[in-house]
């Protein structure tokens, strides 16, 4: 088994991250079409940032992403852009979100580099979230 690497002209890298973030107060608001629209917005943002989404699952009260991010851009900037853009658009398109919570996302998130466990195990874990 060989590793696949990416290049940005300066750096050759393989930086994969498991990211989890939640709505404010962990409210289960990612339902009734919000989840589908959120997937579209995350894909759109990641395409603009040249971030590869390996796996994504939207649960009612949290989001799982497995993604590869250019180390010169950084995981923090990528997550910040995803949360900022998706919050703005979702709150415009689904006004009921404004009445449920003061902001869509919490300020915090979980991130872990994927290296200790095989990528297939992490991917399977994210895919199985809805079946738990």
Distance CA 89, CA 81 (A): 12
Contact 120, 39 (CB under 8 A): no
Q: Does the active-site annotation cover 5?
A: no
Distance CA 119, CA 102 (A): 36
Three-state SS at 91: helix
Core vs surface per residue 24-39: b (16+ CB within 10 A) or e: beeeebbeeebeebbb
* Active-site option among 13, 73, 85, 125: 125
Active site residues: 125
């Amino acid at each position: 088994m060989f590793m696949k690497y990416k290049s940005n002209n300066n750096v050759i890298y393989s930086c994969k991250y498991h990211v989890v973030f939640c709505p404010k107060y962990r409210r289960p608001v990612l339902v009734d079409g919000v989840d589908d629209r959120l997937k579209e917005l995350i894909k759109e943002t990641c395409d603009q940032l040249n971030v590869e989404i390996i796996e994504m699952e939207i649960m009612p009260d949290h989001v799982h992403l497995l993604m590869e991010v250019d180390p010169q851009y950084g995981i923090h900037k990528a997550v910040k852009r995803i949360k900022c853009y998706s919050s703005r658009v979702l709150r415009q398109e689904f006004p009921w979100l404004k009445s449920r919570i003061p902001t869509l996302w919490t300020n915090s998130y979980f991130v872990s580099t994927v290296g200790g466990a095989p990528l297939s195990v992490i991917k399977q874990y994210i895919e199985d979230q809805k079946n738990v």
